[in-house]
Structure formats: structure tokens, C-alpha cells
Chain A
Amino acid sequence: MLLTVKHTTRYVFDGKVTHGLQRLRLKPKSTHGQEVVDWRMELTGARQEAAYDDQHFNHVDLVSIVPGVPEVVVTCEGTVRTIDNNGITGPHTGLMPLWCFLRPTPLTRPGAKVRQMLASIEADRSDVLGFLHVLSGRIAEQVEYVSGTTDAHTTAEQALAAGKGVCQDHAHIFIAAGRLMDVPMRYVGGYLRMDGGDEQEAGHGWAEAHIPGLGWVGFDVSNAICPDERYIRVATGCDYGEAAPVTGIAIGAGETRLDVHLSVGENKVGAQQQQSASGGQQQVQGG
């Protein structure tokens, strides 16, 4: 599938920012199952300070807010070619050792509720993949998708206790429980083209589990599926905090309003051209 993304993040400040920085993880990379065809980022009211790849091989941009501007607009636009790998991202690469994905983080530290839920699942634990599917279903059952009840600082334990949350909370609970079973788990931030049009409410978040023989396998708890060709992976981390699209400080900003506009469209013409060009490869993938 050839997906076209336009993602605009607009921060409108009430006060005059005297000093502000934003750390952006907004640039997807070509990995197993996705190829970034083109990508660009435009800044209004901010300027580039530093760029590097972090420990998860995420591309990171540090930008500063131009003092006194009324707003900062970050626009990302690009095209990504994806294939359906049944959620499998493949073998672990990079220098992060797998055991790092077993360490609890502030957002994923399991408490009594997570342990209780995990213990209550009656399924064959020797079949890790099968068990994780059951776990994913159980979380979706127990934690209703309701936006606005949780925020970026809500922990897995808190969201499970409240019984409400968004994709990020679902992923965190799944990660917390998976790590209790000694399965390396990570958070994935990215985009999902939802059925029914290009306009999307927000970016998406899900989780990946590392399963021997398969490598990283994605689980989208909120949608009860493994990610397919409608998903674009942008950043990964041990929890949302390490994969967050934007984190920052803005001294003097006062009240800040955030507007996000996101469209993920399908470019059917481009995709057909691609199919005829790499038919042989498709067959291998299908096999």
C-alpha cells in the first residue's frame, strides 16, 4: 500500500515564549515492512538545533522555539510504501540488548492490577504468541477506549484500574504484562490509516513483543489486530516517553493550545506501479 501522510502539529501560545525546546521524533525510517519513499518536515516559529539517531535508532530533531512567536507549526509530509507482514517486524537489530526491553519503566511498572489480570488469564503460556493474543483481547475488554480520560503521564496500572484509556494506555498495559512473562516488549508510535477516509483523529500507538523465531511482532490492542499495511511505524521505545512524537519545554508560554491535523491517504496509482515493478518480491513475501 502506498500511504501519503500529512501531519500538522500546531502549538498556539497565550503568552510570550522566552525559551522553548521541542524534541521531535516524527520521521519514519525504512524498515522491515515499510519503505519511506519521500519525507520532509517544515517548521514555522521554530528552528533546527540538533539531529541524531537515538538508542532505538529513532531519528530525533531538537528544535528551539523562536522567542516571542505566537505559534509553532510542525508539518510533516511524505509517502511510505507498506506491505502486510501479519504484524511481524522481524529480527531485532541495533545495539539495544533485548533485556533492556524487559526492564519496567515509570509508565509500564506493573502493580497489583496488572498482575491480577495476568494471573486471571487461563490460556497455554507455552504458546507465547497465542497467549499474547488472548492477553490483548482481555485488555481491550477490561479497558474501554475512551479519549480524554488519560494523558501522557498515565501509567499502565492507573489506566487498568480506571478501566478507561486510549491506544497508548492499552499498549502500556500490554507491555507491562508481557514483561512480567519475560517477553521483551516495546512501544511503537506511528500512523494508522483507519477505514472510512483519509482524515485521522490522532497518531496511533501500539506494542511489539519479541518472540523467538519470529522477532518483533506487533499487537494493536485497541483494534484487536496485528498491524498490517495500513500502519506506519515512526518511533519505538521502552514506553511512550521514549517514542513520543513531541516532548518539550516552553518557558513563558502560558496556556498552550494544541491542534493536530492528520491525514493518511492511499495513493492507489503509485501502488499499482510498484506492484508491477516488484512482482517477484511480492511472491517471496507471500510465501
Chain B
Amino acid sequence: MSAETGTNFDEMLNADGSVRPAYAEFRQWFDSQDKGWLRRQDAEAERFFRRIGITFNVYGDDAAEERLIPFDMIPRIITAREWRKLTRGIEQRVRALNAFLQDLYHRQEIIRSGRLPIEALRNNEAFLSQMIGFTPPGGVYTHIVGIDLVRTGPDDFMVLEDNARTPSGVSYMLENRETMMAMFPELFTKIPVRPVSDYPRRLARSLQACAPPAFKGEGGSRPVVAVLTPGIFNSAYFEHAFLADQMGAELVEGNDLRVVDGRVCMRTTTGYKAIDVIYRRVDDDYLDPLSFNPNSQLGIAGIFDVYRSGGITIANAPGTGIADDKAIYSYMPEIVQFYTGEKPILQNVPTWRCSEADSLGYVLDNLADLVVKEVHGSGGYGMLIGPTSSKKEIADFEVKLRAKPSNYIAQPTLSLSTVPIFQKEGLAPRHVDLRPFVLVSPDGIDITPGGLTRVALKKGSLVVNSSQGGGTKDSWVLDE
């Protein structure tokens, strides 16, 4: 499966080489520009990024060294009609995810009904029994969700992955746009691109709408929001600091906080100040040494007790990781149907669960054609891409798969859509995916138009992860 076969959906060009309507205005502009000037702008973009210091790894791989994620200046463009359908599908899916979490931590009707086997939860460490019987403020579990989408045809968007714990990368979405607007301001006067710059304001508003019972709003005050970071050594520290700054929220570390008068408070020059909503970028296990990993230095002792007694909102709620587990992913069509009573608008990528004997048999017979992933893995590590692997790589992987089938799922290699990237030689098609960012509050579901487009920079590569040589693009949603 590669771009050269010509079977992939090219988002910019029709099969006859003519430009699709979504890209018509952009292409007209692009073709009229001096290529030497564009190349100089391209180099300028990299300097711009280095200066503002975006050097973290998008997908939270703590081991990776700090480096720049390549930015490609050709935007990924989505029409108003396409976006309308996407937002309907994303909204439906995110509603289902929250209903699913509420159910898992209460009556577990989906298990009782037989739609989801107990095994999917029983050996799953992401399922936190401490959350059982507790409803988070406003009934919201996933305050911030990233839904990873891939496209295989004009109307075929599929969900590759749900990111329900701490989806990262939104700072790229914002900086990519800022960079494009700085480099090519005239483009945004010619083409009606929907803005993304108000994301931090919308995030703050959405989080404030989830204030805990202890927030009384005396004197018309607004809920206090803080961003909890593991600290400057975390690979996504830049994003934590950036979002706090953009929201006008406090950036805090566990050491800055303690339980005072039944609230989680931060030290200020004028005494302790209670936090109402904490946007934590610290994993469940490190959140509270009294409740989870006792050796954690990153969390706040007692925050879970304050949470359960209504003194703080934790975003996203502890235990939401169960909803973005790859084994659970394979049940998402049933999950959407079960909680919304509707057919899923967005399809899943067909997925074989290797824990099931029939599926395992099929996967073993077809390894050369499939993508096999670890159930709990992320970042594109530990996976097999059959079509691009050698016989030996496939044989080695088969040993691992046979040893622990329940650790793996398999998917067909998809014919991913392409968008061109800018190269010295001109435009060259490369595979892309899209991560829209979704905010959830009792006021509703708010999807920022666009998201983060990741692009595989290597010719023919299907892996868009930054850790595997992927880059990013500005993502445009056109106004009506």
C-alpha cells in the first residue's frame, strides 16, 4: 500500500489531475507564487518554530529527545459540508464515550446486556475501581478528547483511535495556524478559513462550566482553573505552559499544591487559594500517592478524597483511559449504538481481536497484509505493518503474537488519503490523518474546526506518528 499505486484518495487532486473544489483557491494562489520565495518562507517557518520553542514530542513519548516536529506549509483543507458530517459523527461518538464511562463506573448495563464481555475490563489496568459509584461534576468524564480520523475516500472518514485521557498536540494546531498567518497573511483574506485561535478561551470556558459542588461563585467570581504539569522535564511541558498562559490559568506542579480546608489549594503570596478545576497532564497512577502509586512525586496527596467529596473537578476524570483502550476500541460501534440508539455516523477501522481464536487464526494467516498493534501501546511503537515488513520481521512478530495473543489487535492496511507536501521538486502526495479536539461540558460538546493534521513525510509511509518521522500541517475548515 503506497502513494505511488494511485489507488489512494488524493484530497487535492481528482484522478484526471484537476484540482478539487476544496483546494481550488489555494492552488490558484500557490501556482502564482514564486517558488524560490516559497522555499525561503519554508525555511523561515522552521526558524519561527525553533524560536518559540516547540520541540516536544506530540504523542507523549517521554523517552524521545527534544526535537522539532517538521511543519509542512501546504494546508490540509476540509470543506464546510465535510466538516458538518464529521462534527455530527464526532459529537455522537463523544456522547457515547461519556455515557459508556458513566455506565462502566455505575451499573455496567453494557456488561449485563452482553454487548461487552467482562474480559475487556477484568484484566484492564485502566479500569479504576476507585471511581465506582462516583459521578464527576456535571457528569463529564472526558473534558478534552482527541478523535484520530483517517480518510479513505470522498465521504469515507474512519476513526482510528479515541484519545480520552490526555490528548496532546493542540498547541501545534494553534502554532501551525499562527505560523501560516504570519507567513502568508493574504491567503486568509482570500479564503474563508474558520479560526482556531479561540481554542484556549473555549477550553477555559468549558472547564469552568464543570465546577465542583464546592464552588459557590461568591461575588460573581469565576471558577479557578489550573494546569497540573509533571514539570519541565516532561516532553509536553511546552504545551502545558502554553495552554495555561493562553487560558490565563495557573501552571502548577504537585509540590505547589496541598489539601487545605477540604480543598486543593495553591500557595500564593497572599496565602492559600482553592482550585476549582484542575486540568491535569499527569497520569492517573501519579495523581495521588495516597490513592494510587505511593511513590509518586508528581501528584497531590488527598486530591482524590477532595474529588470524591466534591471539592475539585479533575479533567479528564481518573479512569477515563479505559475508554481509549485499543481492546475497547474494537467494540465502539456497539458502544455508540448502545448508548445513543443510533447507527454510528463515523465508522471504526475493522479490527480483529487476537484474543479471540477465530480472529487470531485469520490474523496469523494474513500477517503480510495487516497492521498489528499492541492493545495498550501508543506512538506507533511495537506494531507490525505487514506490507512493508520483511519475511523475517513478520516471522519474529508472529512469535510475539502467538506468545500473548490478547495483547494484540489487527487491522487491514488502509488506503489512506494523501495531501501534498512542499518539496524542492514541487508538490508530492503524502498520507495524512486528523485529530480534531473536542471539549465536553454540561453546556454541550464543542469541536474546534480543524484539529491537528499529521503527515507521513516519507514517501509511501503510512505511519504519521511524530516519533516515526511524521510532521504536521495547518488544518483548514472552510466557512459556508
Contact = CB atoms under 8 A, between A and B. Distances in A.
B302 A49 contact: yes
A2 B121 CA distance: 42
Interface string A21-35: 101000000000000
Contacts of B305: 23, 49-50, 52, 60, 62
Contacts of A280: none
B40 interface: no
Q: In the complex, which of the residues B129, B259, B260, B262 has the most CB atoms of chain A within 10 Å of its own CB atom?
A: B129
A259 interface: no
B130 A54 contact: yes
Given A49-B259, A52-B308, A62-B259, 11 more contacts: A49-B305, A50-B302, A50-B305, A52-B305, A54-B130, A64-B260, A94-B133, A95-B106, A96-B133, A103-B123, A248-B290
Contacts of B123: 103
Contact of B108 (A19, A57, A94, A97): A97
B306 interface: yes
B76 interface: no
A54 B308 contact: yes
Nearest to A20: B301
Interface residues of A, number: 27
B344 interface: no
B311 A50 contact: yes
B131 interface: yes
Interface in B134-189: 134
Contacts of A214: none
Contact of A19 (B105, B258, B290, B308): B258
Chain B's interface: helix, strand, loop or mixed, by majority? loop
B196 interface: no
B262 A49 contact: yes
A191 B211 CA distance: 40
Interface residues of B, number: 29
Interface in A91-138: 94-97, 99-100, 102-103
Nearest to B289: A249
A100 B131 CA distance: 12
B232 interface: no
A41 to B, nearest CB: 16
A57 B134 CA distance: 11
Nearest to B111: A97
Interface string B403-414: 000000000000
16 contacts: A21-B259, A21-B301, A23-B302, A48-B262, A50-B302, A50-B306, A51-B309, A52-B305, A54-B308, A55-B132, A55-B133, A62-B259, A95-B106, A99-B118, A103-B123, A247-B290
Given A49-B259, A247-B290, A249-B301, A96 B306 contact: no
A226 interface: no
Contacts of B129: 55, 96, 100, 238
Q: In the complex, which of the residues B121, B132, B134 has the most CB atoms of chain A within 10 Å of its own CB atom?
A: B132
Contacts of B118: 97, 99
B308 A103 contact: no
Contacts of A48: 262
Interface string A66-88: 00000000000000000000000
A62 B107 CA distance: 27
A26 to B, nearest CB: 14
A51 B309 CA distance: 6
Pick the 8 closest A-B CB pairs, nearest first.
A62-B305, A50-B309, A55-B132, A52-B309, A52-B308, A95-B133, A50-B305, A21-B302
